């Protein structure tokens, strides 16, 4: 078994589920248990200034082994797993020489990982896959990323003939609850740029994500006894219904892909007296994104003109932004990641993230951070799996990026 796989199988045994309802940092104390283990491991490998701070952020440094003027490169992954599903007692199953057929995850509960549902499986015939036992998630998101980074720095450290600049590694808590960048000390980290190892299938490389906002629409009605309601009652749910249909049907998540943005109605709570609609707005293109927010906001005026001042109130809050504008000025970090993949025999697939990443937040905090594949599939659920080959390639990609930068 290769080192990266061995590490991965150890890390998934730590239950590190984060919790969005918690106000503590990290959101769950148990994430620090993995943190402590990683501190120990980085020290064993011989990294310097290894620490975990009170917030659960682990950092370590591999000093340069030559005097050339080489940028400091960071590699980042997150320790927590998604709150969507249990990460306790993860019991990984190893499927060797995969034959392209159904994989029975759990006989008792009849849980099957099938290429009929997940056609990507067909790409891995003959490879070794790691799956769940059907009762938990796997945690490849993002323990595969951690295992890949640790294994790569170990390889660099034990092969002194590979010349390199200063390398920083960082492991964060709470990415899955959107707080992974909140307490990341960019200054202490001290890298010129970084990569999150937090993508999906082999070859994935991402430096664009959504611009994102949340909107809360409150609609007031007027309730009176239905028997004497004529010309008096205003039912807010009917106004809400009309409002929903003002937003183009083609701009819904279920009708969009690639670079297309959307208005997504997350929830609708309504009674005669008051209705609230909760939306998220997502769009890659900054101009279109501004227009979408403006359009939604314009409905407030339109409805208030029709139904009376104060009937509709729309509050829009920006959540995160497309990192593209922070990456483009240092595009060599994407170009070299692409080159590194090609040099180790991985076909790069540059795709926009249809969501946000911690790298996006970090990019706006002064640390440009695109995202590289871990190799995993079907994150956040019981069908999560990862081919060992993809993890091994991710290690190669990290080592190659470091190598490319030391050759300049």
Give CA torsion, residues 354, 206, 172, 48, to 10 deg.
180
Q: How far is the CB of 360 from Zn ion (least distance, A)?
A: 13
Strands 58-62 and 73-78: unpaired
Q: How far is the CB of 208 from Zn ion (least distance, A)?
A: 17
The residue (of 141 and 392) whose beta carbon lies closer to Zn ion is 141
* 234 SS3 class: strand
Residue 392 designated active-site: no
DSSP string, 366-408: T----EEE---BSTTSTT-EEEHHHHHHHHHHHHHHHHHHHT-
The residue (of 142 and 174) whose beta carbon lies closer to Zn ion is 142
The residue (of 142 and 204) whose beta carbon lies closer to Zn ion is 142
Phi, psi of 322 (to 5 degrees): -65, 120
> Among the options 41, 174, 175, 208, which is catalytic?
175
Among positions 170-209, residues that touch Zn ion (CB under 5 A) are 198
Q: How far is the CB of 140 from Zn ion (least distance, A)?
A: 9
Among positions 268-297, residues that touch Zn ion (CB under 5 A) are none
* 127 SS3 class: coil
The residue (of 92 and 356) whose beta carbon lies closer to Zn ion is 356
Q: How far is the CB of 390 from Zn ion (least distance, A)?
A: 15
Strands 73-78 and 193-199: parallel
Among positions 74-93, residues that touch Zn ion (CB under 5 A) are none
User: Does residue 61 bind Zn ion (CB under 5 A)?
Assistant: no
User: Minimal CA–CA distance to 242: which of 221, 214, 213?
Assistant: 221
* 304 SS3 class: helix
The residue (of 55 and 371) whose beta carbon lies closer to Zn ion is 371
Among positions 363-402, residues that touch Zn ion (CB under 5 A) are none
Structural tokens at position 392? 């091994």
Among positions 12-31, residues that touch Zn ion (CB under 5 A) are none
Among positions 243-272, residues that touch Zn ion (CB under 5 A) are none
Q: How far is the CB of 175 from Zn ion (least distance, A)?
A: 6
Residues sharing a CB contact under 8 Å with residue 139, sequence separation 6 or more, in sequence order? 11, 12, 16, 81, 87, 90, 384
User: Does residue 148 bind Zn ion (CB under 5 A)?
Assistant: no
Q: How far is the CB of 319 from Zn ion (least distance, A)?
A: 17
The count of residues interacting with Zn ion (CB under 5 A) is 3
Q: How far is the CB of 26 from Zn ion (least distance, A)?
A: 15
Q: How many Cβ atoms sit within 10 Å of the Cβ of residue 80?
A: 30
* Residues 183-204: b if buried by 16+ CB within 10 A, e if exposed: bbebeebebbbbbbbbbbbbbb
DSSP H or E segment with residue 189: helix 186-189
The residue (of 198 and 396) whose beta carbon lies closer to Zn ion is 198
> Among the options 15, 80, 176, 204, which is catalytic?
80
Helix axes 332-343, 388-406, angle to 10 degrees: 120
Residue 290 designated active-site: no
Interface pick for Zn ion out of 61, 142, 204, 396 (rule CB under 5 A): 142
User: Minimal CA–CA distance to 279: which of 303, 299, 259?
Assistant: 299
Compute the distance between CA of residue 374 and CA of residue 196 in angstroms, rounded to an integer: 9
The residue (of 39 and 79) whose beta carbon lies closer to Zn ion is 79
Strands 58-62 and 48-52: antiparallel
User: Does residue 141 bind Zn ion (CB under 5 A)?
Assistant: yes
Q: Which residues are catalytic?
A: 80, 175
Task: Point out which residues bind Zn ion (CB under 5 A).
Answer: 141-142, 198
């Amino acid at each position: 078994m290769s080192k990266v796989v061995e590490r991965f199988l150890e890390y998934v045994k730590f239950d590190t589920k984060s919790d969005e309802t918690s106000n503590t940092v990290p959101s769950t104390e148990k994430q620090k248990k993995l943190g402590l283990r990683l501190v120990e491991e980085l020290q064993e490998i011989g990294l310097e200034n290894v620490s975990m701070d009170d917030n659960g952020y682990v950092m370590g440094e591999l000093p340069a082994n030559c005097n050339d003027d080489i940028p400091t490169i960071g590699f980042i992954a997150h320790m927590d797993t998604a709150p969507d599903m249990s990460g306790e007692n993860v019991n990984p199953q190893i499927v060797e020489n995969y034959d392209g057929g159904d994989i029975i995850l759990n006989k008792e509960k009849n849980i099957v990982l099938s290429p009929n549902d997940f056609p990507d499986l067909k790409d891995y015939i003959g490879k070794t896959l790691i799956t769940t036992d059907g009762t938990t998630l796997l945690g490849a998101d993002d323990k595969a990323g951690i295992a890949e980074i640790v294994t790569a720095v170990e390889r660099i450290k034990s092969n002194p003939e590979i010349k390199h600049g200063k390398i920083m590694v960082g492991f964060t808590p709470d990415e899955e609850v959107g707080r992974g960048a909140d307490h990341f000390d960019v200054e202490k980290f001290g890298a010129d740029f970084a990569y999150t190892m937090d993508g999906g299938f082999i070859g994935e490389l991402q430096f664009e994500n959504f611009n994102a906002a949340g909107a809360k629409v409150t609609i007031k009605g007027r309730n009176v006894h239905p028997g004497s309601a004529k010309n008096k009652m205003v039912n807010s749910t009917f106004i809400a219904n009309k409002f929903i249909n003002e937003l183009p049907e083609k701009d819904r998540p279920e009708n969009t892909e690639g670079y297309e943005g959307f208005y997504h109605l997350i929830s609708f709570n309504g009674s005669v007296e008051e209705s609230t609609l909760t939306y998220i707005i997502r769009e890659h293109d900054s101009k279109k994104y501004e227009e979408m927010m403006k359009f939604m906001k314009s409905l407030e005026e339109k409805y208030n003109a029709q139904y009376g001042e104060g009937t509709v109130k729309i509050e829009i809050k920006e959540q995160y932004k497309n990192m593209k504008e922070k990456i483009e000025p240092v595009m060599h970090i994407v170009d070299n990641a692409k080159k590194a993949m090609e040099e180790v025999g991985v076909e790069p697939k540059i795709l926009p993230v249809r969501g946000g990443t911690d790298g996006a937040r970090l990019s706006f905090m002064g640390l440009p951070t695109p995202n590289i594949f871990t190799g995993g599939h079907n994150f956040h659920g019981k069908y999560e799996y990862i081919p060992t080959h993809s993890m091994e390639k991710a290690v190669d990609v990290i080592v190659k990026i470091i190598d490319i930068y030391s050759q300049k």
